[in-house]
Amino acid sequence: MPWNKNDYPDSFKNLEPEVRQKAIEIANALLREGYEESRAISISTTQAREYVHGTDDNRPHYEVKPRKDDWVLIKKDGEKAIFKEHTKKNLLDKAKPYVNDKNGVLAVYHEDGSIEQTLYE
């Protein structure tokens, strides 16, 4: 199913318009080459970000971690919370658009301190 600027995967909704458009182009090309939708979405998002912003060497890195009874979004190696919420889900609802707007990379941790996933690489 080819995508366009009005009909695209939900995961593209928080991308900057220029990155989103490039991701749509790349994803459609990957679909034509026979890639599965989920794989095409993942690859196209990464490649579109790199195409528009370059490599992730200069991108800011953020972390979603537990702190006492809350969850916080902090800049990597930072101390001050950018956002604080009682639940991880509520924090992620705020953190994802914020990190996307900053063209950052987001590391999400489990409650035990181990890494769960890294987004927007």
Question: What tokens were used for 106?
Answer: 């987001």
Given this model, what pLDDT does residue 1 score? 61
Q: pLDDT tens digits for the chain (121 residues)?
A: 689 989 999 989 888 899 899 999 999 999 999 999 999 998 898 888 888 877 656 788 999 999 999 999 999 988 899 999 999 999 999 999 999 888 888 999 999 989 999 887 6
Calpha distance 14→70 (Å, rounded): 25
Given this model, what pLDDT does residue 90 score? 96
Domain ranges for the chain, please list them: 10-54, 58-119
Q: Which residue has the tokens 């939900």?
A: 10
Given this model, what pLDDT does residue 104 score? 87
- Ranges of beta strands (E only) in the chain are 61-67, 70-75, 83-85, 105-109, 115-119
Calpha distance 83→106 (Å, rounded): 13
Residues 48, 9 contacting (CB under 8 angstroms)? no
Calpha distance 81→78 (Å, rounded): 8
Q: Which residues contact 49 (CB under 8 A, 6 or more apart)?
A: 15, 19, 56, 103, 120
Residues 87, 103 contacting (CB under 8 angstroms)? no
Given this model, what pLDDT does residue 55 score? 66
Given this model, what pLDDT does residue 46 score? 84
Quick check: pTM over 0.75? no
